């Protein structure tokens, strides 16, 4: 049995020898001391074989077949900051919901909202969302998790055992946010304000600003003003403080 253990070349052979040892111990063909010695020898041999095993296709010092992740960086930081601020100020969600997030997080949620409005769900990778929003990958992940914690959206993970996972699918479940997206990101306030108020007038003053004429009599209609024009001359007050008659 010792020679068989020392001559084993694979872990499967050692497992088979381990079963034989304990079966012999159960049938009392091997004593306790002999079984313990064979088990220690088998353990040492198993450690030696495992150290000599080199995973196929995996470089030395790596524990996975997939290439290492490359951290993305914007070519120009000022451009990324400007894009982030522009997206955050474009009204990605209602003001009551937007007040919970920072500018970078709002930029991420703007990208998610645009994809949901266009396709019904957002299936973009996190790297793509972060690149479009002008933020880092970690900030994009934090913004999505924060929105999920507030009950604004759901995250569907698509894991695959033995191969690369698919990007998560994001779906908006907030009724207020969905209604905002259906309106195109516009509030109802401008529509209400447009129907209330007076007509804006832009008069042109061609006279001397130091001698502006101020009417002392109340304004009248066109017909009555024409009748009164022939009866009497209204007294007008000049801006300089002097009084005078209106010229005919």
Of 233 and 192, the one with more pLDDT: 233
- For residue 87, is pLDDT > 80? yes
**pLDDT for position 117:** 92
Of the candidates 81, 69, 127, the one whose C-alpha atom is nearest the C-alpha of residue 107 is: 81
148 CB neighbour count, 10 Å cutoff: 14
Confidence (pTM): 0.49
Of 174 and 60, the one with more pLDDT: 174
C-alpha 140/C-alpha 167 separation (Å) is 14
Q: How do residues 31-62 score in pLDDT, each as one tens digit?
A: 888 888 888 888 888 888 888 766 565 555 66
Q: How do residues 95-109 score in pLDDT, each as one tens digit?
A: 999 999 999 999 999
The DSSP result for 156-173, as a single string, is EEE--TTSPPEEEEEEE-
- For residue 219, is pLDDT > 60? no
The DSSP result for 35-99, as a single string, is HHHHHHHHHHHHHHHHHH---TT--TT-S-SSPPPPPP--S-HHHHHHHHHHHHTT--S-HHHHT
Q: Mean pLDDT across the stretch 207-235?
A: 48
**pLDDT for position 185:** 65
């Amino acid at each position: 049995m010792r020679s068989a253990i020392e001559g084993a070349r694979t872990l499967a052979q050692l497992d088979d020898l381990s079963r034989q040892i304990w079966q012999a111990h159960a049938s009392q063909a091997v004593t306790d001391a002999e079984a313990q010695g064979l088990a220690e020898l088998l353990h040492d041999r198993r450690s030696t074989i495992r150290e000599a095993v080199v995973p196929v296709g995996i470089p030395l010092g790596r524990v996975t077949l997939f290439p290492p992740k490359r951290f993305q960086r914007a070519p120009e930081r000022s451009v990324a900051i400007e894009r982030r601020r522009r997206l955050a100020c474009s009204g990605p969600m209602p003001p009551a919901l937007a007040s919970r997030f920072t500018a970078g997080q709002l930029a991420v949620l703007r990208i998610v909202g645009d994809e949901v409005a266009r396709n019904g769900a957002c299936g973009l990778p996190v790297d793509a969302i972060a690149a479009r929003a002008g933020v880092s990958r970690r900030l994009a992940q934090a913004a999505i998790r924060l929105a999920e914690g507030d009950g604004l959206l759901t995250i569907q993970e698509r894991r695959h055992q033995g191969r690369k996972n698919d990007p998560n699918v994001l779906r908006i479940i907030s009724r207020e946010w969905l209604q905002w997206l259906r309106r195109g990101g516009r509030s109802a306030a401008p529509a209400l304000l447009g129907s209330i108020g007076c007509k804006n007038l832009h008069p042109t003053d061609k006279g001397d600003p130091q001698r502006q004429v101020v009417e002392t009599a109340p304004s009248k209609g066109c017909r009555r003003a024409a009748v009164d024009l022939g009866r009497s001359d209204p007294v007008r007050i000049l801006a300089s403080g002097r009084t005078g008659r209106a010229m005919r």
